[in-house]
Chains A and B, each alone.
Chain A
Amino acid sequence: MEPQELITVARRGARADVPKRPRIGVVKFASCDGCQLTLLDLEDELLAVAERVDLIEFAEATSRRSMGPFDVLFVEGSISTEEQVEEIARLRAVSHRLITIGACATAGGIQAIRNWFDLDEVRDTVYPEPTFVESLAQARPVSDFVAVDGELRGCPISPAQLREFLVALVTGRRAQLPDEAVCLECKRQGVVCVAVAGGIPCLGPVTRTGCGAICPAYGRGCYGCFGPRESANTASLASWFSDSRSAPEVSRLFSGFTAWSAPFRTTIDAHGGPPGQLVEPTEPEDA
């Protein structure tokens, strides 16, 4: 999804479009629940948010269940099974606006690295009894299956961005979710560039901001969990990395939580696919 579309979505959040007390749902597919939990991390403001919206579906927080319809539905997780394909189509039909949250829903997540491998081999490697594992050949982002109206990136998503999205929703203004590089945040904070000063490979220049530049602030390179920014020139950055690294090493740098997003995927492909190979399953050692 392009950032412009996201802004259009936020703009559609004007009062005329969303009721004063919107009916909101939070659902998940293949994911760890971490992004949903960010909603609970709002802590101080959670009650105030709850007063202004009708949270009709959120398994992490309430036993109330709803089949919809939803004014806004937050969707976490990648689509990884046939059942999920059907379920996301049903949810789309009952949601006025569908917002994907987190690296799994927006880019396929860490599990999408298996998309480069043969499903049967992966399954046999991971599970001793793979008979009952029903899975699609690839774990893919929600936008590969249904239209998406907006997205919050990250692994997990940023509480500040979630708050901004919710405030914009209830006040009817445009959500300010910048699509620029992590570098701007580093420089505003005065974080010394780990790439230039330390020679540490960093995906900050091609990764969307929103995390608060956490990794560079702690002296390590960005590994791209917010996914590609606008105008992500991964080819140029990979070429710079290649001056002192082998193709598998370069590929590994891009093979993270958002590896399956288009610009990263292309770069991984151009460097021989994701690193690593499937290993034979081994018996767990004694504890």
Chain B
Amino acid sequence: MVTEPAYFLPRAQLGRLFEALRADGRRVVGPTLADRAVIYDELEGPAELPTGWETDTAPGTYRLRETGSDRSFDYVLPVTSWKRYTHPAVVPLARARRDGAKVDIEAIVAEPPSLAFVGVRACEIAALTIQERAMRAGPLGDADHAARRDAALIVAMECAAATSTCFCTSMGTGPEVEGGADLIASELDAGFVLRSGSPAGSDLLATLDLRLAEPVEVQGAAAQVAAVRARIGNPVAAEGLPQRLRAALDSPRWEEIAERCLACANCTLVCPTCFCTSVAVASDLDGLDSTTERHWDSCFSLGFGRVAGDANFRPKVKDRYRQWLTHKFSTWFDQFGSTGCVGCGRCVAWCPVGIDVREELGAIAPITAPAGPIPWPPAPAEGHAPAALSVVAPARHVTAVVERLTPETTDTVTLHVATSDEALLAARPGQFVMVELPAFATPAISISRIRQDGLDLTIRSAGAATAAIGALAPGAEVALRGPLGRGWPVESAIGRDVVIVAGGVGLAPLRPVIEAVMAERARFGAVRLYLGARTPGDRLFVAEMNALAGRADLEVAEIVDRAGPEWLGRVGIVTHLFDQARWSGDRVSAFVCGPERMMQATAAALADRGVDPAATWVTLERNMACGVGTCGHCQLGPFFVCRDGPVFSIAELGTAFGREGL
């Protein structure tokens, strides 16, 4: 951008920039004073800028200081970040109605206003780019975010001041603005040096019809930002930090931080790249009309890791702090190809007890740390390239009719739904759908059979939503969103022996695998099916499994944890079924689903028999909420379970599999 010619806007004419932006149909958002701080808000004109004010920040402290100067942009960073406009705190998602058996759910599509962001710092431009990648890294991007981001014009303002919490220099995001803006400004005492950064910026400059900046003005601007760089120094040793953090998952420092950390979530909510959200449902008293909306949430809240059955993936504060820090500085690279931290220092200043992330990084992952074993395999090389932006479209809710229900066990039922939706019928084994009913939360449900005219969904009643879905009457409608996720790689088992191990309701997502294999039986080697259940009453698809057991071309074995008077079969855990088996693991592709502990034990037993971890596949159940990798709930190390899974190989997961608190 430095090659673009520089123009000069005298201070007294700053209002003309506002007018030009408004003439372009935009509302202007920029810095202003409110409640003892600089915040971003809609501005009428330059009079509302924080002229003559500077900001001092330190860990846990933010103070305004009046200087009496004529300059308007000498403050450092507001508490607000631009995500308030590109990824608002609350966004309505869908409206749902129920009329008898009929269900109608439609996505709410945002029509954001055209905005001009004035005063965007270099670190904030980086943050906008980084968050956009995160919101659009899936196979399905976030339509709301894309619409808002596309509707914003960026007027950057290079920093002329730095404060003790700044560390953009370490993260490689500033203080110089090197792109990502439509217009790039630097404030001098007498006015502003302006350069274009895009065709829209060039149009604006043409409208303003300014004189070229004098060399002394251009040099003055450059000297200012150079002084900022020198002032900040290089507070964080970022080189190799992702790897050092990966090796520090068991650092004693996490416990120590947890004693100070309030888990209040302020760091994540002021962070300009944090994007995690939760969904809330509001309904009328009869549950006939409801709206869902998403709101900012945080990995620091206990509720964020909570799943059906009141289990929690991150019950301890040390787990939550580790999740945040390792995501921001390490697994973000795996997921989105860049750092998740831009060094703006908001998390340092706005921590109510002044925890300084720079200090913690130095203690947890010191530059001198030996490169320990890395807990999950390094991401593939292309994983470190910035994530490609995916196509965005509003969420697609397909209404389907429940034709009939088959009770499977006391708490599990199979819904047979009819649909002609081509995408749903093209579902792959192991994929899931989000099942939506007005007024209820939206659970992710495994597809247990892919038919020519619909899907079977097997649902265990684990909460109010799954109970309500399981209690539907034939003829009732549900809305489905999907199919989602990466399924079982059944093709990879062609020409190999197949071992399928299911625990309880875990048989549901495996049934399409069994059916795919049996449909083309001749293309596979030996096929072995091992079924476990808590009690005989918890066995799934009993008649079908009995029929399979009668066939000569596969081996079926069953076991229960606790027998009843009617049970004449084996008792114990599912791995007992192949403890004494003769088969060798070297030609085996294994597909495993059940409770996580059962899958861990099974994976270990399979490894003992020589099954390749890269050919041992499990499907993870997590607190999937959005289904498309934008809410953050189902994160596991470098993965979003909904988007990158739910099916993973043991080799892919590495030691992230079964690790407590991850």
Q: CB-CB < 8 A to A181: which residues of B?
A: 262-265, 301
Q: Does A193 contact B (CB under 8 A)?
A: yes
What per-residue 1/0 map shows which CB atoms of A204-232 lie under 8 Å from chain B?
Answer: 11100000000000010000000000110
How many chain A residues have a CB neighbour from B under 8 Å?
A: 55
A184-B298, A197-B62 known; A237-B262 Cβ under 8 A: yes
Residues of B within 8 A of A196 (CB): 60-62, 79, 349-352
Q: In the assembly, what is the distance between CA of A11 and CA of B441, in Å?
A: 12
Task: Verify if B381 is at the interface (C-beta below 8 Å from A).
Answer: no
> Is B260 among interface residues, defined by CB-CB distance under 8 A?
yes
Q: Which chain B residue has the least Cβ–Cβ distance from A49?
A: B285
Docked Cα-Cα span, A176 to B278, in Å, equals 11
A174 at the interface (CB under 8 A from B): yes
Query: Is A204 within 8 A of B264, CB to CB?
Result: yes
**Does B34 lie at the interface of the complex (its beta carbon under 8 Å from any beta carbon of A)?**
yes
Residues of A near B63 (CB, < 8 A) are 197
Residue numbers in B under 8 Å from A173 (CB-CB):
281, 283, 287, 439-441, 464-465, 468
Contact B281 A188 (CB under 8 A): no
Q: Mark B35-56, 1 if CB is under 8 A from A, else 0.
A: 1110100000000000000000
Contacting residue for A171 out of B37, B297, B349, B439, CB 8 A: B439
Contact A190 B89, CB 8 Å, known A184-B269, A236-B259: yes
Does B554 sit at the interface, judged by CB under 8 A? Answer: no
- A85 contacts the other chain (CB 8 A): no
B16-36: CB near A (< 8 Å → 1, else 0) gives: 000000000000000000111
A246 CB within 8 Å of chain B: no
Q: Is B97 interfacial (CB 8 A cutoff)?
A: no
Whether A174 and B464, one on each chain, are in contact in the complex, defined by CB atoms closer than 8 angstroms, is yes
Please, how many angstroms separate the alpha-carbon atoms of A178 and B298 in the complex? 12
In Å, the complex CA distance between A3 and B310 comes to: 10
Flag whether B296 is at the interface (Cβ < 8 A): yes
Cβ-based interface call for A21 (8 A): no
Contacts of A195 in B (CB 8 A): 352
Residue B587 at the A interface, CB < 8 A? Answer: no
Q: Which among B60, B90, B285, B317 is the interface contact of A52 at CB below 8 angstroms? A: B285
- Return the chain A residue nearest B310 by Cβ: A4
B353 within 8 A of A: yes
CB-defined contacts of A7 to chain B, threshold 8 Å: 306, 310
Mask, B306-346, CB within 8 Å of A = 1, is 10001000000100000000000000000000000000000
> What's the minimum C-beta distance from B432 to chain A, rounded to whole angstroms?
21
Enumerate chain B residues within 8 angstroms of A198, measured Cβ to Cβ. Answer: 36
Q: How far is the CA of A24 from the CA of B605 in the complex (A)?
A: 54
Binary CB contact string for chain B from 76 to 117 against chain A (1 if under 8 A, 0 otherwise):
000110001000011000000000000000000000000000
Minimum C-beta distance from A45 to chain B (A): 7
Bitwise interface map of B from 280 to 299 toward A, beta carbon under 8 Å scored 1, else 0: 11011111000000011110
Q: A179-B303, A183-B266, A192-B34 are in contact. Are A237 and B353 (CB under 8 A)?
A: yes
Q: How far is the CB of A236 from chain B (nearest CB, A)?
A: 5
* Chain A, residue nearest B284 (CB): A167
B60 to chain A, nearest CB (A): 6
Given the known A-B contacts A173-B439, A236-B260, are A193 and B79 also in contact in the complex, defined by CB atoms under 8 Å?
A: yes
B61 and A176 form a contact (CB under 8 A)? no
Cβ contact of B296, chosen from A176, A187, A199, A240, cutoff 8 A: A187
A48 at the B interface (CB under 8 A) = yes
Interface residue B405 (Cβ < 8 Å from any Cβ of A) = no
Contacts of A14 in B (CB 8 A): 464, 467-468
Q: How large, as a class, is the contact surface on chain B?
A: 35 or more
Chain A residues, CB < 8 A from B306: 4, 7
B463–A231 touching, CB < 8 Å = no
Does A76 sit at the interface, judged by CB under 8 A? no
- Which chain B residues border A219 with CB–CB below 8 Å? 35
A233 and B287 in contact (CB under 8 A), knowing A172-B464, A180-B302?
no
Which residues from chain B contact A166 at a C-beta distance below 8 Å? 285
Q: Write out the residue numbers on chain B whose beta carbons fall within 8 Å of the beta carbon of A191.
A: 35
Chain B contacts for A168, CB-based, 8 A:
464
A190-B89, A196-B60, A230-B302 known; A180+B35 contact, CB < 8 A: no
Q: Are A240 and B60 in contact (CB under 8 A)?
A: yes
Across the interface, name the chain A residue whose C-beta is closest to B265. Answer: A184
Is B261's beta carbon under 8 Å from chain A? yes
Query: Does A202 interact with chain B (Cβ within 8 Å)?
Result: yes
Which residues of A sit under 8 angstroms from B270, Cβ to Cβ? Answer: 187
Say if the beta carbon of B613 comes within 8 Å of chain A. no
Pair A193/B302 contact, Cβ less than 8 Å = no
The 8 A CB mask of A35-53 against B (1 = contact, 0 = none) is 0000000000100110010
With A52-B285, A192-B39 as contacts: A236 and B353 at CB distance below 8 Å:
yes
Q: Which of A232-266 contact B (CB under 8 A)?
A: 233, 235-237, 239-240
Known: A10-B464, A11-B463. A231 touches B62 (CB 8 A): no
> Is the C-beta of B235 less than 8 angstroms from some C-beta in chain A?
no
* Contact of B180 with A by CB under 8 A: no
Judge whether A13 is part of the interface by a CB distance below 8 angstroms.
yes
Nearest CB in chain B: distance from A217 CB, A: 9
For residue A188, which residue of chain B has the nearest CB? B89
| B269 engages A183 (CB within 8 Å) | yes
B contact residues around A180 at 8 Å (CB): 265, 298, 301-303
B354 at the interface (CB under 8 A from A): yes
Residue A66 CB within 8 A of the other chain: no
Contacts of B34 in A (CB 8 A): 192
* Neighbouring A residues of B298 by C-beta, 8 Å: 180, 184
Beta-carbon nearest neighbor of A206 in chain B: B262
Q: Which residues of A contact B302 (CB under 8 A)?
A: 3, 179-180, 230-231
Interface string of A147-159 (1 = CB under 8 A from B): 0000000000000
Other-chain residue from B259, B301, B350, B439 in contact with A193 (beta carbon distance below 8 A): B350
What's the nearest-Cβ distance from chain A to residue B272, in Å? 13
Does A170 belong to the interface (CB within 8 Å)? yes
**Could you give 24 example pairs across A and B, Cβ below 8 Å?**
A4-B310, A7-B306, A166-B285, A167-B287, A171-B285, A171-B439, A178-B301, A180-B303, A181-B265, A184-B296, A184-B297, A187-B89, A192-B79, A194-B36, A195-B352, A196-B61, A205-B352, A230-B303, A233-B260, A233-B261, A239-B260, A239-B353, A240-B353, A240-B354
**Extra contacts besides A172-B467, A197-B62 (20): CB < 8 Å:** A7-B310, A166-B285, A170-B285, A171-B283, A171-B287, A173-B287, A178-B301, A180-B298, A180-B303, A184-B301, A187-B89, A190-B89, A192-B39, A196-B352, A205-B266, A206-B262, A230-B301, A231-B317, A236-B262, A237-B262
The 6 closest A-B CB pairs, nearest first, are: A171-B287, A205-B264, A187-B269, A188-B89, A192-B35, A205-B262
